[in-house]
Each structure stands twice: as C-alpha cells, then as structure tokens.
Structure 1
Amino acid sequence: MNPAARYARFVTDHSKLIIAVLLVATLVVGSAAGNVDSELSIASFSSDSTEAETYETLQQNFTTEGENTTVVQVVTRGENVLSKESLLETLRFQRAVADDPEVTTTLRTNRSMIGLSNVVATTAIRQSERESGPGNGTDEQPERSGSRSETPSIDAQISHLESMPERKVEATVERVLDPDSENRGPVEPYSLLTTDYEPGSTTATGRVLYVFQDTSNAAGDDLPQEVVDAQLELKDLSARIITSESFVFGAGIVDEESTQATGESFAIISPVALLLILAVLGIAYRDVFDVALGLLGVALVLAWMAGFMGWAGIGVTQILIAVPFLLIGLSIDYALHVVMRYREAHFDDPDATPREAMRRGLAGVVVAIGAATFTTSVGFLSNAVSPLESIREFGIVSAVGIVAAFLVFGLLLPALKIELDGLLGRIGYTHRASAFGRAGAAGNALSVGTDVARRAPYVVIAIAVVLSVAGGAAATDIETSVDQTDFLPRDSPAWMDSLPKSFQPSEYELRENAEYINAKFAQPSDRSRAEFLIEGPVTESDALERIAAGKGHLANTSSAVTLADGSLEVTGPLETINSVAATNETVAAMVTEADTDDDGVPDENLTAIYDAVYGAAPEKAAATIHRQDGAYRSLRLSVGLSGGADTGTVTEEMRDVATTIEGETELTVTATGRPIIEEIVQQGLLTTLVDGFLITFGVITAFLTLIFWLRYRTLSLGAVVLTPVLFAQAWLFGTMYLAGIAFTPETAIIAAIGIGIGVDYAIHIGERFLEEYTDKPDTISALRRTVRGTGGALLASAVTTAAGFGVLVLALVPSLQRFGFVTSVAIGYAFLASILVLPSLLVVWIRITGSDDGSIALS
C-alpha cells in the first residue's frame, strides 16, 4: 500500500478522532483572534538601509521644532484667497478652534497655528502702531511679517482687519509679499502660498493654514485618538465657517477616512462575493450539504488565520485584508477536489460505502493537495525575504492559512463528509450528485485543450512561447511605485448612488486633496524633504563653504522646491548662524570677522562661532548643529522637495549634492529622507519579485521532481508541470504593462500568488494524468478523463477564486482595485495554462521520453 492509500485509510478509519482533535485545535488557535488589531492601517513599507539608519540618527541627534508634532493643513482655494473677506474667514476659523476645547487640548504650546491671514493682520496692527506713535514711523522699513515677540491675539487680529477698508488690506498684503523686502519675520509668507503665485501680486488662487498638534503621547506610529478626533472636528469647523472652497488634510483624517472607505467597500463587496461564490458552488455541487460543509471549512480556515495573527501580534493592513480572499479561493479549491474525487469513486462503484468511497477518492487526490499546499505555501513564504515588512507579513500569514486549509480540507472535511453521509444514509437520504465536468457543456468546454493537443500540440506550445516572450519583455518596462496616494480612497462612481441607502458609500476627496497639496505647496511633511547628515571634521575651515557649494548645486536640481520668490526652502547650519546673527550683535561680528573672502560664509574659527550660536540660541542651534560632550560631531542640511518629484530623480540628485558637499574634504555626507528611503523601498519591490520568483521556482522544481520520481520514476515531469505556470506569469506581466499597472507593494506579491495557485492547478492536472495513464497508457483518453474529472473541480475553483478577488474592483481604494484585478487575471491565466497548454506539453513529453508504451509505473 502506497503512502497516499495509507493516509486515506488512517483518515477514514479514525474520522471521529480527527474531528475532535481538529475542532479542539481550532478553538485553541482561534482563541487569539480577538487580539488582532482590527484598526485597519495603510500598510507601512520600511526597509533596512544605510539611508534609513542615517535618517534615524538625524531624528535622534537633532532637535527640530516639529518634533513630536503632527501638522494639519487647512487649504483655501478660489479666484483670490488674499481678499479681505477670505483672510477674515480663516481668522474666524482660528477663533473657533481656540474656543473648542476638544481641539485646543491637542495643540502644541508654541505657535500652534500659522497662516498668511495672521501675518497680514499682525503686520497691519504693527504698522498702525508705528503710524500712531511718535514721529509716525514713516521712515521705517516696513515689516514683512512682524518681528515683535508678542503676537496680537486672534480677536485683535480679526477686529483690526474688519476695521480696515479693502484697499488698505490689499496694500498690507502687497507689503507682506513684497519680493524686495529683506525684513524676514519668523514665517516665510511664500511658504504659505501655492508655488505658482506671482511675487508681488495681491491675488492668489490658494493658501494654507498650518495647525500643529502635540503627539508626544503617541504610541509608536499611531496618532492618539484624541488627536484624530480633533482633526475630524477641525474638518467640521472648516465646513461651517469657511464659505469659500476649502478642505482640511491631516494624517488622522487620512487614516479615519481610509478605514471608513475600506469598510464601506466591503459592505458592498461582501454580499456580491458571497452571492457569486454560492452561485458557483451551487452549480458545481448541486447539494446543499456539500455547500454547507465547504463554507464551514472556509470559516475554520479563516479562524486559524485570525488566531495566528493574534498570537503573532500582526495587525490588519490593506495588503493583509486580501489574504482571506486568497484562503477562501484555495479552500474552495481543496474542498471541490476532495468532494469531486469522492463522487467519482461513488460513480465508479455505486455499491461502495461513504467510508470506502472517501478512502479511494482521498487516496487519489491527497498527493496533489499536499504537493499544492507545500508549493503554494513556499510561493508565499518566498516573500519572507522581502525587505518590506508588510510584504513579509503577507507571505507568512498566507502560508500559515494555506497549511490550515490542508488540515481542514485534507483531514477534517473528509472525516466530516464520512460521518455526515453516513448519518444521512441512516435516515434515508441517499442523493448522490455526479462530479462536475464529467459530462455536459462544462465537460465539452474542458476537453478543448485535449482536442487541440491531439491535433497540433506544437502549435499550441509555439503560441504560448511567443506570448510569454512578449510578456516577459514587457515586464522589463513596468514601473515601480510606493506612492502613498495610491492607498487613498477615491470618490465612489455614479452608479453606486443607485444602491440602497444603507449601502451607498460616503464621498471621498482624500486622493484629489493630497494630489493638490503635493503639486501646489512646499510641504512641511518629512515626506517632502531631503536630509543630509554631514559627519567628520565639521569645524574645519572649509566645512561651511562645502555646504554653500552644495546649496548651489541644489538650486540647479529639478526636485528641490523653489518658492514663489525664487528661493530654496533650505534649513541648515548657515541659515541657523545667519538667523542668530540677525538678532545678536556678538554673533554677527564673529561671523563677519570669520568671513575672510566676503562671500557670506564663515571660513575660519568655526568652533567659536558654533559656541556663540549655542550660547545665544541653543534650541535653534540644536536643529542643525550636533554637539556631544563639548565636541561638534555633525551638521544637518534639510531641503524642501516638490510634492510630485519622482523619488528616483530625488535620490540621484540628492546623492550628487552629497558628493558636491564632500568635495576633496574628509567630510562624510549621506543623503537621506523619506523620499530617498521610499526609492530604496521601490527597489526592494524588484528584489521581492526577483528573489521570490527564484526561491519559489527552485524549491518547487526540486520538490516536484522528487515527488514525481518517487511515484513515477520520472525526473523531467516536474519541469513540464511548471512550464505553463511560467507562461501564465509572463502573460500576466504583459497584461500589467498593457493596462499601465505598476509594480506596487500589493502587485509585487502577485508573482507568488500566480506561481502558488498556478502550481496548484498544474499539479492536479499532472498528477491525475499520470494516475490515469498508468491505468490505461493512451495519452488522449487519459487527458480527456483528467480534464473532465479534475478539470471540473479546477474550473469551479478558478471561477470562485477569480470572482472573490475580482469583486475587489468595486472597492473605493485604488490599491484594492488593482490587487483584485491583477490577481483575478493571474488566476484566470493559471487555469487556462493548465487546461489549454499543459495537455499539449504532456503529449509532447510522452512522445519525447518514449513513454507512450506505458512504461511509467505507479510506485
């Protein structure tokens, strides 16, 4: 008796024990499901790299004003957002914020709100004070944004602006935005306007108000709930008070609305998916008890998955919510194969008892299911080598779920089926449906691949190869992306408005708002900044000169953002020194004396200058000059980037700037920042794809070769079975290229899904073919019986799995839409390759190996 037969006998002889053990095990594993963090988050993509480590060093060694804060952007748009009424609306909004304790308790202490309306109102108040003072102050240089330490209250700003005529407000705006003014205040007005603003103009189409919240109590990367609630309150206040076009954008709003959009998506998707699955299963099974058993098995597999996540401390992300769809599809596949082979055994021997029929059916399919479990789980575990944490978690959770599927459908379902059919038989219910695909239209359709293989197998293979070469070539031109806006929900399509009210989704403008902000404003977010860590002899005479040279290089890059007045948004030691020198005569004198070539950059006695700056303004100094144990260790240079800048371009240009700063000195300069780290992550996507493919392909080839050698004494069949899987992958890449779909974190894992599911299908066909061929060495008849038997289960499985993923295109989140489309296409191609191409490959393999005399023997 071979191992498969012994396994089947064990399961059928100990069905009650197996049921008891697995149900108890399910309770134990599933008991941790409640520990899963169900607060859906946008998947985080981080990797280990020199740049990432440098970025962490910058965060630790330099203290910046934005530390432990999150910024909310209140954007106002219109024909002229610099009008008196528009400015007043923003001030009234700020007053409402100040009067709202739910918001004010979350604001940082110092300068919690910064907007152009404040700059204009403060400038007007101080100008009025000078005009009413001694001498009227008419000879003074107008202040650009106000330099006095005491800022007028919001009420005072509103009252003064309300009392001013429109023409005087316009004159004040002109003074504030005068490009020739050199009196810089604590706020750069141009940073509060869109980058396309014309300097000197008294009209603008967009401006932003920054609201800063304290996040010192945050646990990890998650915002405190009170901060999130305050951001939602800010959104409500804006809608009530600001009558012109405006929106509020913040991390808490993004997380809240993304979670809501995903939930609303699944409220629509789940009923559709359930109806599709029930319809397909009803057609395939034609038996309510088998459908119920299959659904019960699916529920148990999902319980194992959720329990494992709870025990492992893995939370839910937008990538991980695709795993249940995968496991549902694979579970249905396993269930169909077990039940259909059971039915075939009953059909071949109508007098067999349920236990005997299951023993024969399970023995015929368990090797294929076991091999599919191993190869599919390896396909997903290959993602464990990914440098991206979210993809690693996806691979591990999927692999555990796949193993759970085998335990449920390779052990529990057969045992339950035996006991259930035995019970039904004892009460007189003996309905026995035939195996799906053995006859009728489905059987005829499944036989197409066999019919073509009989007539022209080489033509089929040639067509498949040509399409695969084209797809493989196209894959080299597919772009990679980890753009976070890809994870933001879009507004629902118009047809969803006709759904019942309880299913109608909300309106979402997150993606459009994010794109507008990135395109129009210099962002305060670290995602729109490049950072340079300058280490080594930073007190040498040429250290600051090299930084100045680097700034000159920055001005010639395409990715560094240029404000409306033509300046760069740069923060560095030179800016810190000049800022302190502007208010401290001692520092100013030292800087002038140390500038021996009169280029505005100190080139000697830097240690003394750093000491003086620290003594005059330690907080400012700590933001760009790192001092440890009395010695100066490093400097920090930060530059604002265009929101739409390509991360590859940013990385290349900033690394060139770092090289410029280093020059011929002993300085070590590392370019880093979120955009550069994201580019490294993008390259990690390709690493995930290539490494995952090579690992999966190598392990699966070796495993199949071993299995087929042990059972049929053939070393080449494993490669033959894998060939259509490779074809399907190439077709998939070609389709992605034609559809303009980039390699993103969620599509990068499609390679593992395609290989895993494709191998599952191919193994079932290959294993069943050899089993049929050893009984009757006639290639075509063995193929026909294979595709009409096993192919029927594959068809039902492919349709349900593809439908389960396919309904994701109805989601409001673009990343889920892409994932659903690409995965359903991958499953469709895997099925077609197994049913249409593999029969021709098997025919040619039989001819080439000379096995058409029936020399293959089951061992």
Structure 2
Amino acid sequence: MSVPERLANGIATHTRIVLVVLLLSTAVVGAGMPRVEDDSSLSQFEGDSPEAKALERSVGNDSKEGYFTSEQEKNTTRVQLITRGDNVLTRESLISSLEFQQELRANESINSTLAENQSIIGVENLVAVTTIRNERAAELNETSSQLQDGLNQTVGLQRQYEQLNESYENGAINQSQYQTQSAELEAQFDSVFETATEELDENQTAQYESAVQQARTIESQRYEIRSQTENPSESTEYQQLSEELEGVYRAGTAGVLEAEYAALQSEEQPPLDEQIAALEELSDDEYERILKQTLSSDGSDDDFAIALMPTSYDPGTVQADARMTLLSQSTTSDATGGMGGGAVSERIVDSQLDIRQLAETQEQDYLIFGGGVMTDEIERSMGDSLAIVGPLALLFVVIALLIAYRDLLDIVLGIVGIVAVLVWTFGFMGWAGIAFNQMFVAVPVLLIGLSIDYAIHVFMRHREQREETGTTDSVRGSMSIALAGVGVALVWVTATTVIGFLSNLVSPIGPIREFGIVSSVGIVAALIVFGALIPAIKIEGDEFLEKHGFDRQKRAFGTGDGRFSDALAVGSVAARKAPIIVLIGALVLSAGGVYGATQVDTSFQQEDFIADTPPEWTNNLPGSLQPGEYQVKNDLDYVNDRFQREDSQAQILVEGDVANPDVLEEIDTARSDAADSDVAYTLATGEADVQDPLSTMESVAARNESFNESFTAADTDDDGVPDENVSALYDQLFEIDGEAASQVLHQTDGGEYEATRLVIAVQGSASSSELTEEMRDIAGGIEDGSDGRWSTIATGDPIVFYIVEQDLLDTVLESLLITLVAVFAFLTVAYRLTGSSATLGIVTLLPVAFSVSWILGTMYLIGMPFNVLTGMITSLTIGLGVAYSIHVSDRYSLELERQGNVWSALRTTVTGTGGALLGSAATTVGGFGTLAFAILPALQQFGIITALTITYAFLSSVVVLPALLVLWTRYFGPDVSFDPSGTAHPATAASDGGVPPAGDDRTTDGDEG
C-alpha cells in the first residue's frame, strides 16, 4: 500500500481521532484571531530604500526624532479648511469665518484636539491681527513720541535750571528771586512728567522717572562743560555724556515700551472677539487698504498670507473665490498622526468629522480636507462595499454550490471548511503579530477560492467512487479511495501554490513578504482542513444519515450525459480535432498579453483607496445597504488644482560638512533649479515655494538688523551667498530664530552642523516618476567634491512612494519568474518520481504561463495599474492556475493508465475533474466578481481582475491543456490507444486510484493515429 493510500485509509478509519485533534488545533490556533490589529497606513510599505532611510533621518518616525523634527511638527496634524464663494475677501466673509472659529473652539470635542500655539490661522486672522497691530503700533508710536517730547522738555528745563543757578551764583538775582523761579521750574518739571506718563503703568512710570533723573544729571554735566569750554563738541567727556544721553532717551522711550513693542511681534493672536471687533470698526477704505497690505507680495519669503490663497489669486487684489485656513491638531496622546502615510487616530477622525458637520451649518461654503476625513471615508467605503457585495457574494456562492452539490450537507460542510481555514489563517496572523492591511483583502479571496476547489474535488471524487459499480459502496471505503486518488494532486497543488506565494519573500516591501507567508500558511491549512477534517466530518455525517434511511449517494457534477458534460467536453473535442490550432491560438494571445504586460502602469498612493461618488443604482438599495456620501476624492482634486497639499513636498537632504561655504553655493544653484522645475508648486506670486538655509537667512535678515549686518559681511563677493564665517552665521541664526533655523539646519549637541535640506513644495497632481527624476537631477547638482565632504539625496513622501511603486513592479516580475522556475522544477521532479514523464510538468505549467500573460494583457487593455492589491494578481493566477492544471493533468495521467485510450481518458478528465473545476471556478468568480460593485476603487479593480484570473485559469486548464496533453501523449507519453471509438463508451471513475481491477484485460496497444 502506497503512502497516500495509507494516509487516506487512516483518515477514513480513525475519523473521531482526526476530529478531536483538528478541532482542538483549530481552537488553539484560532485563539490568536483577537490579537490581529489593523494597519492602513502607507508608511509600512516604504521598505528600506536609501530614500526611505533618508526621509526617516530627516523627519524621524514615531519612535525616533529626525534632524529637523520640532516638537510642534512631530505632535500635530493639520486640517485644510477652504472657504469658497463668489468673493471670499469681503469684510462680511472674513468676519463670518472668525465667528466660525469661535464655534469650533466652543465645541469641546474639537477644541480638545487643537494645538496650543497658532492652532487656527487663516487670511481672516492675518487681516484682523494686522488691523489690531497697526492700531497698537500707532498708539505706541504716539506714546513714544509723547515720552520723547517729555524728555526734550525735561532737558530744556534742566538747561534753564542750570542758567538760573549760574545767575544766582553770579549775583544777577537774589535768593528770593532764585527760590521763586526755581519753584516755577520744578512745577514745570512735574507737569511735563505727569503729561508724559499719563498712559503708563506703575513700573513704566518708575522706569521713565529714572530716565528723567538721568537726563537731568547728564544735561547738568554737559552744561558745565559748555560753560567752561569754547568748543564743547571737541571734548571727549562731552561726547561721552552726549552718547549717554542718547541711551537715556532710548531707555525712556523704546525701553519703557519694550514689552509692548515685543508684543506686536508675538505670534500669539489676540482673542477672536477682539479680531472681530477690529474688522467691524474699520471704515471701508481702511479695510481695503489693510486687506491689500496683508495680501500684497513684497518679494520676501514671509508671504504666509499669499500661501493661503489659491494659485489663481492676483496678489494685492480684493477679489478671490477661495482662501484657506489651517487648523492644527495635537496628536500627543495618539500613537501616530499626520496626513501622509501615517495612521490617524480615532480621536482625530471624530474631531475632523465634527468640524465638517459644523461647517455644513454655516452660510459660507467650506471644504474640509484632512487625514481624519480621508481615513473615515476609506473605512466607511470598505464597510459600505462589503455591505453591498457581501449578500451578493454569498448568494452567488450558495447558488453555485447548490448547482454543483445539490446537497445541503455538502454545502454546509464546504462553508464550515472555509470558515475553519480562515480561522487558522487569521489565528496565525494574531500569534505571529502580523497586522491586517490593504493587501490582506486578497487573502480571504485566495483561500476561499482554493478551499472551494479542494472541497469540490474531494466531494466529487467521493461521489464518483460511490457511483462506481463493482466496488465497495461504503462511505468510509469510498472516501478512502477518493482521498488516495485526489490526495496526491491536492498535495502537489498545495506545494506549488505555496512555492508561488513564498516567492514574495524576495520583495523589499515588508507587507508583501508577510502576504506571502500568511497566504502559504492559509493554503497549508486548506489542505489539512479539506484533506482530513471535512472528510472526517462527512464520513460521520453520511453514516449517521444512512443509518436513519437517507440516501447519501449523489452523482458527481459534470459526469453522465447532459448539457454540462457536452460543454465541458469542448476541450477534449478540440484537442482531438485540432490540437495544433488550439496551441497556436493560445500562443498568439499570449504574445499579445506579454506585450501588454510591459505597458501596465504601477500605482502606489492613498488615492487608490478613496471612494468615488456611489453610482445612482445604489439609491435603489434597501436603506441599510445604501452607501453614504463620499466627497474626499472631489475635494482632493480641488485642493490639488488650487492649493498646496501639506504632504506634497520633496526634500533634498545634504549631510556632512554643511557649514562649508561651497555647500551654500551649490544650494543656491539647486534652489534656482527647483524653482524652475515643472513639478514645483507655484504660489499666487508666481514664485516656487522652496525652503532652505539661504532663504531662511534672507528672511531673518530682512527683519533683524544685526543679523542682516552679519549676513552682508559674510558675503564678501556680493553674490547673495555667504562665503565666510558660515558656522558663526548659523550660530547667530539659531540665537535669533531657533525655530526657523531648526527647520533647515541640524546642529549636534557639540555645536557642529551635520545636515541641511531644501524643502520643495510640489504639485499634488505631479507624476511620481517625473517628480522623482526632477528631484534626483537637482540633488545630483549639489556636488560633493573630490573628497566626499558631503552627500546628497532626494527624498520625501512622493519620492519614497515612487520607490515603492518600482519595488512593487520588481516584486511582480521577480516573484513571477521565481515561481515559474520553482514550480517547473517541482513538477518535473514530482512527475518523474511518481513514474510519469518529467515533460508532463512542463505541459502542466504551460497553461498557467499562458493565463498569466492573458491577465496582464487584459490589465493593459482596460487601463488597470498594479497597486498593493492588483500587484498580487500574478501570485493569484499561478496559485489558482497551477491548482486547476495539476488536477487536470493528474486525473488525465490516472485515467490514461486506467483506461488505456487517449480520448476516453481525456473525456473522463474534462467531464469529471473539469466539472469539479467548473463548480469551483463558477463559485469563486460569481462570489468575488461581485467586488466589482464595491464602492472602494481598489476593491472594484481587485474583484474584476480576480474574476478574470479565475476564468482564464479555468479556460486554460479545460481548453488549452487538453490539447497540450494530447500532443504530449503523442510524442512523449506512454504507448496507449488513439482509437476514436474509445470515446463512445461512458467513462467510469478511477475507483482504485488508477490501478486496473484484477482480471481487467483492457489493452494498451491501440491505434497511434
């Protein structure tokens, strides 16, 4: 007795032991299911490319800070709130937006997420703050002028007082006159002081009083020098006193108001009610003047208000149909946050939905765009998609199984087996710590398809055995023989499919490697469940029912005479009449498919998982099945066309001796090249948005006189780029504006500068390949010299995602090649070791290669790209295609040995095994083809391409493979009969696993022609 026969006999004989062991194993493994976590972020796909590592060094990740990670940046995510209308720059529109901000802050769920500083900033705030600061600046200037006048009068009075003293000492006036005039002067001193300090507080008054006393003392000393010297200006002491007096003037004016002047430069906004009042109190002319002042470009890098306007806006005008407000939310209590590849917490999602809901109650039209809103739509579209396709898929599966099985118990057992396989698979994921992501949507599809395939082959072979006359009709005996006959094919299918999916281990993308491992585990689980657990349950169930008088003998699907048999026999008829034509036709289609495969695009972006507006037919669904509203995709297009998306930025990272003046020269050239790039985002000013150490220093120099002097002094050749004392210049930059400096320069704890970067805003709609090529060219222009003093690399989310696209494409090609070679080697060795020709392995694999080319060519024709789901289609095609082909080849080899006639063996194969394949294919195609009705685009694409894959795999196995088997038999196979009359007799089952019964005198010496 062979090994397969012993195993099959053991399973059929010891069913209760098998049940106990496997049910306990299922419970243990399934206990890991609750441990499975979700991870929908795209960052997990980034891999270990140099660009991904450079981005991590630059901005860090959840556990590590990068060169340029500020606490505010690390712990915040932003919402873009865009106001739309005929003219959103009217006073009424801005006031309405400020009132909307008050409502946002009054909402506790929203306000609790807002960042501490500058949590909401928009054009409305900038105009209101400019108004308030202009008013306060005018008041401060008036007060300062009043203080200066007071000091001037004080100095003048002191001069009179000195003259009075001189007159008294010279005897020009008597003591009575002196006292009277002295009292009058002191009274004037007091009056001037009181007038000057009317608007001052106690501390300011004391500070001003000190300045007044110092001014009087200095002026007294100066008067004495003037009275004793003909040319006092030549006196060193007089000059020193004059300089001291100037200092006193500064201390008594700007010094007294220093805190107030500093407050004007503070980033803190006045309360919203003050902002609203400030706008309401302006005259129309004043409002228009301040609006133009705020939205006029002065050519500096600080045109923040302009960055909040659409690219179509004409700076300085008072008309615009859109403007943007940025709302910053804190993610300090969340695991992750952000709009890029990172996941968004439920707290942030809920708050952004509340913002959108509140915006819908406003008179103005608001567009809310943020990571939370996007995440919500992705998750809702997945749920709505499953709510629509779930019932349809279940209906198709049940109908297909009803047609194939026509037996309630077998249908239930098939579904139970599928559930058990999924429990094993997801339980393994939980114990292994593998998170569920977008790719794993494909795993249930694959496993359900293979499970149905395994179940139908076992059940149908068992039915064939029970129909066979002259053999045992017991349930256990029939199942033992059926498992022995089909078991080898199931093992081979499992082995080759596992090989196919484990080929994904060569991928540099972690989730793809995990996908290969999980799929392989699930496939092995399918073999265990449908090769042992379900057969054991079926034996016990059938025996129980037969003891109670129920007939459990059922006809196998596709056998006997009928329309299904005739349809399935098309492959065998074509193989008998024109096998060469069938092969040529397959080759021609495959050649076209290969060409199309080279043209298939690759896509990796979050937009792939954003739902379109649901089609109108969904409005006719029952209320519980109707999908919600989806607007993020339209909003995303609007933002990409008119504004700068926060996550659309490229970076040029420079590491090494970045304090070298040559680096600044190279950066100056690079930023000019970046500004001229076709992919750079252009502000309303017409300028590109590029941030780098030079632009930062220029900005600080424009508002800080001392830094401007240092910056100018360091530029000895007047080309606008410092060429000496760069490190000292960086030090001063950090002292004056550390926040701005830290965004473009990294300083070590030892005070050395080891990294800098250019941050280039890019168009959200730019091609990832074009963008990457442009940025790499720019980075390549920053030469590192002959001694490698610094290195440069282009990075950023768009570039890293492009690398993932290329890795995804490489994975598709590499895994396809590895799988085909490995499966070819396995099949040739396996067939050789089992007594068949090794060439049968080649023949079995050819239809699979054909179907792969067909599906890739189809993707090109319908414009479907590779993404994280469709990129797995080659693994699916090989996995299902090899399964179908092995079943056909193995059954044909078995029937050929048993019947000795090519045509009879072929017809038995395509109607018996082909019937099982048809049931499996129809169930899987019907069930998962319903994904085409999903709301989520990625699921739609995956459903369509999976259905086509299964269809191609089935057709290639029952139409193309029979022709190949005939040609193989003619030139490489055993010496059997080609007598056409062999097809006239009804085919019987291989009741004994392929060994002719004792006494069978069937000849194998037939007509070869």
Q: TM-score, normalised by structure 1?
A: 0.95
Distance, in Å, in 1 between the alignment partners of 2:401 and 2:417 is: 14
- After TM superposition, list the pairs within 5 Å mapping 1:393-404 onto structure 2: 393-404=514-525
> Which residue of the partner structure matches residue 278 of structure 2?
160
Cα distance 1:150–1:775, how it changes in 2: closer, same or farther (>3 A)? closer
Distance, in Å, in 2 between the alignment partners of 1:170 and 1:340 is: 83
1:173 shift after superposition? 2.7
Cα distance 1:532–1:332, how it changes in 2: closer, same or farther (>3 A)? same
- After TM superposition, list the pairs within 5 Å mapping 1:638-677 onto structure 2: 638-662=759-783, 664=785, 666-677=789-800
> Which residue of the partner structure matches residue 843 of structure 1?
966
> Which residue of the partner structure matches residue 510 of structure 2?
389
1:757 shift after superposition? 0.3
How many residues are matched? Answer: 847
Name the SS of the counterpart of 1:118 in structure 2: helix
> Which residue of the partner structure matches residue 752 of structure 1?
875
> Which residue of the partner structure matches residue 157 of structure 2?
none
> Which residue of the partner structure matches residue 402 of structure 2?
282
Residue type matched to 2:879 in 1? Answer: G
1:42 shift after superposition? 6.5
1:184 shift after superposition? 6.6
1:160 shift after superposition? 2.5
1:664 shift after superposition? 4.3
Query: Alignment partner for residue 808 of structure 1, among 916, 931, 938?
Result: 931
Residue type matched to 2:850 in 1? Answer: F
Distance, in Å, in 2 between the alignment partners of 1:397 and 1:183 is: 55
Q: Quick check: 1:369 aligned with 2:490?
A: yes
> Which residue of the partner structure matches residue 205 of structure 1?
321
Distance, in Å, in 1 between the alignment partners of 2:462 and 2:288 is: 85
Deviations 1:604-627 (A, max 9, x none): 111111121122223322221112
> Which residue of the partner structure matches residue 196 of structure 1?
312
Name the SS of the counterpart of 2:324 in structure 1: strand
Q: Quick check: 1:587 aligned with 2:707?
A: yes
| Contact in 1 for aligned 2:472/2:478 (Cα 8 Å) | no
Structure number with bigger Rg: 2
Q: Quick check: 1:313 aligned with 2:433?
A: yes
> Which residue of the partner structure matches residue 143 of structure 1?
none
1:518 shift after superposition? 2.1
Cα distance 1:702–1:664, how it changes in 2: closer, same or farther (>3 A)? same
Deviations 1:518-569 (A, max 9, x none): 22212222xx111122122222222211110111111221111111112221
Distance, in Å, in 1 between the alignment partners of 2:280 and 2:900 is: 96
1:43 shift after superposition? 8.2
| Contact in 2 for aligned 1:39/1:259 (Cα 8 Å) | no
Q: Quick check: 1:10 aligned with 2:17?
A: no
Query: Alignment partner for residue 685 of structure 2, among 542, 565, 578?
Result: 565
Name the SS of the counterpart of 1:727 in structure 2: helix
Distance, in Å, in 2 between the alignment partners of 1:198 and 1:576 is: 25
> Which residue of the partner structure matches residue 791 of structure 1?
914
Q: Quick check: 1:420 aligned with 2:541?
A: yes
Q: Gaps spanning 5+ residues in structure 2: where? A: 60-65, 145-263, 337-341, 979-993, 997-1009
Distance, in Å, in 2 between the alignment partners of 1:43 and 1:184 is: 31
1:663 shift after superposition? 6.3
Distance, in Å, in 1 between the alignment partners of 2:866 and 2:39 is: 26
Residue type matched to 1:37 in 2? Answer: E
> Which residue of the partner structure matches residue 68 of structure 1?
75
1:390 shift after superposition? 2.5
Distance, in Å, in 2 between the alignment partners of 1:663 and 1:475 is: 40
Query: Alignment partner for residue 725 of structure 1, among 840, 848, 860?
Result: 848
Distance, in Å, in 1 between the alignment partners of 2:436 and 2:868 is: 15
1:325 shift after superposition? 2.4
Residue type matched to 2:494 in 1? Answer: T
Q: Quick check: 1:536 aligned with 2:656?
A: yes
- After TM superposition, list the pairs within 5 Å mapping 1:86-101 onto structure 2: 86-101=93-108
Residue type matched to 2:53 in 1? Answer: E
Name the SS of the counterpart of 1:208 in structure 2: strand
| Contact in 2 for aligned 1:712/1:858 (Cα 8 Å) | no
Distance, in Å, in 2 between the alignment partners of 1:593 and 1:716 is: 82
Query: Alignment partner for residue 722 of structure 2, among 594, 599, 602?
Result: 602
> Which residue of the partner structure matches residue 176 of structure 1?
294
| Contact in 2 for aligned 1:43/1:319 (Cα 8 Å) | no
| Contact in 2 for aligned 1:43/1:317 (Cα 8 Å) | no
Distance, in Å, in 2 between the alignment partners of 1:151 and 1:328 is: 59
Distance, in Å, in 1 between the alignment partners of 2:476 and 2:554 is: 17
> Which residue of the partner structure matches residue 126 of structure 2?
119
Distance, in Å, in 2 between the alignment partners of 1:188 and 1:567 is: 13
Cα distance 1:483–1:227, how it changes in 2: closer, same or farther (>3 A)? closer
Cα distance 1:178–1:585, how it changes in 2: closer, same or farther (>3 A)? closer
1:235 shift after superposition? 1.5
Cα distance 1:835–1:23, how it changes in 2: closer, same or farther (>3 A)? same
Deviations 1:211-258 (A, max 9, x none): 1111223324444433232222212221122x2332212112222221
Cα distance 1:168–1:802, how it changes in 2: closer, same or farther (>3 A)? farther
> Which residue of the partner structure matches residue 429 of structure 1?
550
Q: Quick check: 1:446 aligned with 2:446?
A: no
Name the SS of the counterpart of 1:319 in structure 2: helix
Name the SS of the counterpart of 1:61 in structure 2: coil
Distance, in Å, in 2 between the alignment partners of 1:711 and 1:280 is: 34
> Which residue of the partner structure matches residue 638 of structure 2?
516
| Contact in 1 for aligned 2:77/2:331 (Cα 8 Å) | yes
Q: Quick check: 1:456 aligned with 2:578?
A: yes
Cα distance 1:858–1:559, how it changes in 2: closer, same or farther (>3 A)? farther
| Contact in 2 for aligned 1:43/1:390 (Cα 8 Å) | no
Residue type matched to 2:873 in 1? Answer: I
Q: Quick check: 1:743 aligned with 2:749?
A: no
Residue type matched to 1:214 in 2? Answer: S
> Which residue of the partner structure matches residue 619 of structure 2?
497
| Contact in 2 for aligned 1:658/1:671 (Cα 8 Å) | yes
> Which residue of the partner structure matches residue 742 of structure 2?
622
> Which residue of the partner structure matches residue 357 of structure 2?
236
Distance, in Å, in 1 between the alignment partners of 2:657 and 2:472 is: 90
Cα distance 1:707–1:449, how it changes in 2: closer, same or farther (>3 A)? same
Cα distance 1:166–1:320, how it changes in 2: closer, same or farther (>3 A)? farther
| Contact in 2 for aligned 1:711/1:858 (Cα 8 Å) | no
Distance, in Å, in 2 between the alignment partners of 1:396 and 1:165 is: 71
Which segment drifts farther, 271-280 or 121-130? 121-130
| Contact in 2 for aligned 1:334/1:409 (Cα 8 Å) | yes
| Contact in 2 for aligned 1:74/1:210 (Cα 8 Å) | yes
1:130 shift after superposition? 5.6
Q: Quick check: 1:354 aligned with 2:472?
A: no
| Contact in 1 for aligned 2:667/2:782 (Cα 8 Å) | yes
1:792 shift after superposition? 0.5
| Contact in 2 for aligned 1:37/1:316 (Cα 8 Å) | yes
Cα distance 1:130–1:591, how it changes in 2: closer, same or farther (>3 A)? closer
Q: TM-score, normalised by structure 2?
A: 0.81
> Which residue of the partner structure matches residue 262 of structure 1?
382
| Contact in 1 for aligned 2:454/2:490 (Cα 8 Å) | yes
Residue type matched to 1:422 in 2? Answer: E
| Contact in 2 for aligned 1:461/1:841 (Cα 8 Å) | yes
| Contact in 1 for aligned 2:118/2:267 (Cα 8 Å) | no
Name the SS of the counterpart of 1:74 in structure 2: strand
Residue type matched to 2:68 in 1? Answer: F
Which segment drifts farther, 632-641 or 245-254? 245-254
Name the SS of the counterpart of 2:572 in structure 1: helix
Name the SS of the counterpart of 2:743 in structure 1: helix
Deviations 1:560-612 (A, max 9, x none): 11111122211111122223323333221111111112122111111111121
Distance, in Å, in 2 between the alignment partners of 1:184 and 1:793 is: 70
Cα distance 1:777–1:156, how it changes in 2: closer, same or farther (>3 A)? same
Deviations 1:348-388 (A, max 9, x none): 13751001111111111111111111111222222232222
1:128 shift after superposition? 4.6
> Which residue of the partner structure matches residue 611 of structure 1?
731
CA RMSD of aligned residues (A): 2.3
Deviations 1:154-187 (A, max 9, x none): 11122222344666544433232223x35775x6
Percent of residue pairs identical = 42
Distance, in Å, in 2 between the alignment partners of 1:178 and 1:136 is: 29
